[in-house]
Structure 1
Amino acid sequence: MLLLATALPCAAEPLRLALWHTGLGRDGPGLLLRDIRRGAADVLAARDALLGLAPDAVLLLDIDHDRDALALSAFAALLAEAGLALPHTYAPRPNSGLATGLDLDGNGRRGEADDAQGWGRFAGAGGMALLSRWPIREDHDFTDFLWQDLPGTQLPMRDGQLFPSPGILARQRLSSTGHWQVRLNTPQGPLTLLAWHAGPPLFGGPHDRNALRNAAETAFWRWRLDTAPPETPFVLIGDANLDPGAGAGNRAEIAALLAHPLLQDLAPQATPPGTDTPPTATAHWPDGPGALRVDYLLPDRRLTVLQSGLVWPGPEATHAILWADLLMPD
């Protein structure tokens, strides 16, 4: 499980950062809060998986958002009661399920899950949440950034025309879920997190809308790193829904991000229980695309990586937990 190791200065305290696509998302609003309060089996399994890893900060994906953050607060309380206190949280409203009143997928109907700013059966479905031992400060929330405003992006076309229409695309946000830049005020100094959760590059119709958008969600961070990289040490963290060597989508886009000169690609390894899948795979869909590397924790080169790895919470888990112990620069 351990990939990289260096001598640890005696006065330094490593920072353990983690990422997990939890699979806790439910089919309707309020159901996650209900199940947390009931102590549902998958909720308790998620709690125990995080307790075993004991991160100082963790980005959770596929955790439903509600206006008053009741579900997130209840889950944080569940962790705290078991001994993992992560009192600081950040979970702005995601694009998933955010109604537009438009026909964004161009199928002639409105009000469907594909017509939300990000696919979702209800507002806040499958959101993002950050939990931390240390205070969190928002630097930028790019979740409302428009797709058409990304320099050099490729927009969907049909019969030589923008699809569904220039007017509708002018209201289409880039993020399927969210793109954030937030700062953790750690004891060793500020650490910036660049977080995102892209939509899958599938099910986009003959005009390839979802594949183009998925590639653009990853390309956004290359553009930011090239034009406005954080001044503080940072980590790029999230789910690109894109594998550099297999599966659907523009694989060259994630490969280019992994090769960015400001980043370290740790490529942690662990084989999912009961499978012979590639050890770098971070997700496994046995009845779908199989095992792919889609989740990423990429520190910038100013950070020292003491160790990193993958943890598969159990044989039924779809995604592994990625983690890294980081040392801030002097």
Structure 2
Amino acid sequence: MTNRPRRIASTATLVLAASALTALPSSAAESPSVPAPPGAHEVRFSTFNTALERPEQGALAEELATPDSEQARNVAEIIQHVRPDVLLVNEFDYDETGASPRLFQDNYLSIAQNGAEPIEYPYVYSAPVNTGVASGVDLNGDGEAVTEPGTPEYAEDAFGYGIFPGQYGMVVYSRYPIVTDQVRTFQNFLWADMPGALLPTDPGTGEPYYSEEALEVLRLSSKSHWDIPIDTGRGRPVHLLASHPTPPAFDGPEKRNVARNHDEIRFWADYVTPRAGSYIYDDQGEAGGLAPGSPFVIAGDLNADPNDGDGHPEAMTQLLEHRDIVDVRPSSQGGLGAAQRQGGANDEHEGDPRLDSADFADEPGPGNLRVDYVLPSRSLPARGSGVFWPTVDDPLFRLTGDYPFPSSDHRLVWVDVVRP
């Protein structure tokens, strides 16, 4: 999820929780959660909401400046075990200096964590996001446009919920070159410019929830949408389509976040459908969607489960049932065990818990959900997939655990595809 209080411990609690589990064996060779390497002509794409956002601007960079963050070490070890070739990280505060992504590489990914092999990503992409960027208008309907960062009221009037600019940001790490001069970002695309957008209305009056003034500036992306071409060395680049839509919760009867989540997901469905994305424009003013026939992978914490939770019932079907997208259905036994062990809302779920990728509060709460996705285009045959969610008897259970989590409330999701 994102943007609001959730089941994750303080840094101090994380240190204690991880320390209490270190008596367990840690050998990756004994863990069924560690996947075999991808084949010689395959690329491993992955998404991971790492929950590395922090409550103050600059706090993440300060924490990553030393190798002492227990949470960051656990996150890095998970990445080292799965070894993605291309990794989208959600909930990683944006740093305009680029310090945070570099520090995470140098002080965590490049250092062996509990005997796991270090991993190097020579190519990194990061860019501004809408979270914590002041809109200058009243978006939460309280009659005031708050423009001073640092409070929940400010966060609710920002383009995306955040108490400072860049909170809950994104970063991409890649072992393959990023074709930087062909990257497209859609941070500034206006929600009202989407034909047939699900703009919310006041159910009591039937009037638009947002004022005309708000709709003139309100952006669709709560963070951003990125089209990042990855040169896998076989001629045509693979377009990583990265985003992190707002959670369909924390709103009122108008369900503005449910609607926005649906349309943030719809953006990619239109973008990859010939002619359907003709209305789209990027931050450089270039119009149109993805060139027909281009291979792509849609990735991110999309904050929507196709069967359970509070999202729009058709939010994920826009992608999962798309003719040009393949749902490989990455799974784990750990997700099944967690749902059975935790009970609560999980007992009423319709979806297969082996597909879950996030461990949310069970009572009260939505329970565990499938919200993190790696969805390749039909032109990219998939050869393997999984969710890194160890079972309780797995030596690497110490990296994910139960609440309070030693790493994140989300799990890393990966898919191996054949290079085009």
TM-score (norm 2): 0.73
Report Cα offsets for 1:15-34 as digits up to 9, x if no partner.
11111000111111111112
1:139 aligns with 2:174: no
The answer to whether the Cα contact below 8 Å between 1:281 and 1:294 also exists between their aligned partners in 2 is yes
Structure 1 residue 56, shift from structure 2 partner: 1.1
Q: Which residue pairs with 2:200 in the alignment?
A: 156
Structure 1 residue 135, shift from structure 2 partner: 1.9
Q: Give the Cα separation in 1 of the matches to 2:127 and 2:326.
A: 28
Q: Which residue pairs with 2:18 in the alignment?
A: none
Report Cα offsets for 1:97-136 as digits up to 9, x if no partner.
1112211122112221111110001110010100111221
Q: Choose the corresponding residue for 1:195, options 214, 228, 242.
A: 242
1:289 aligns with 2:366: yes
Q: Which residue pairs with 2:57 in the alignment?
A: 29
Report Cα offsets for 1:245-296 as digits up to 9, x if no partner.
0110212121132000000001111123644261111111135211111111
Q: Which amino acid aligns with 1:131?
A: Y
Q: Which residue pairs with 2:171 in the alignment?
A: 129
Which consecutive unaligned segments of at least 5 residues does structure 2 have? 1-31, 113-117, 147-153, 276-288, 341-345, 347-352, 390-398
Structure-to-structure mapping, 1:1-330, within 5 angstroms: 12-38=40-66, 39-78=68-107, 79-82=109-112, 83-111=118-146, 112-136=154-178, 137=180, 138-158=182-202, 159-189=205-235, 190-226=237-273, 227=275, 228-230=289-291, 231-270=293-332, 271-272=334-335, 274-276=338-340, 278-287=353-362, 288-312=365-389, 313-315=399-401, 316=405, 317-329=408-420
Q: Give the Cα separation in 1 of the matches to 2:234 and 2:120.
A: 19
Q: Which amino acid aligns with 1:223?
A: D
Report Cα offsets for 1:275-322 as digits up to 9, x if no partner.
426111111113521111111100011112111101024112411111
The answer to whether the Cα contact below 8 Å between 2:52 and 2:93 also exists between their aligned partners in 1 is yes
Q: Give the Cα separation in 2 of the matches to 1:241 and 1:33.
A: 26
Q: Give the Cα separation in 1 of the matches to 2:330 and 2:232.
A: 24
Would you tell me which structure has more strand in proportion to its own residues?
Answer: 1
Structure 1 residue 154, shift from structure 2 partner: 1.6
Q: Give the Cα separation in 2 of the matches to 1:54 and 1:188.
A: 21
When the two structures are aligned, how many residues end up with a matched partner?
A: 323
Structure 1 residue 96, shift from structure 2 partner: 0.6
Q: Which amino acid aligns with 2:313?
A: R
The answer to whether the Cα contact below 8 Å between 1:76 and 1:87 also exists between their aligned partners in 2 is no
The answer to whether the Cα contact below 8 Å between 1:233 and 1:328 also exists between their aligned partners in 2 is no
Q: Give the Cα separation in 2 of the matches to 1:326 and 1:257.
A: 18
Question: Which of structures 1 and 2 has the bigger CA Rg?
Answer: 2
After TM superposition, the structure 1 stretch with the greater mean CA deviation from structure 2, 54-63 or 284-293, is: 284-293
Q: CA RMSD in A?
A: 1.9
1:274 to 1:156, Cα distance in 2 relative to 1, 3 A: closer
Q: Which amino acid aligns with 1:297?
A: V
TM-score (norm 1): 0.93
Structure 1 residue 93, shift from structure 2 partner: 0.3
The answer to whether the Cα contact below 8 Å between 2:133 and 2:162 also exists between their aligned partners in 1 is yes
Indicate the SS of the match to 1:148: helix
Q: Give the Cα separation in 1 of the matches to 2:313 and 2:183.
A: 29
Q: Which amino acid aligns with 1:85?
A: E
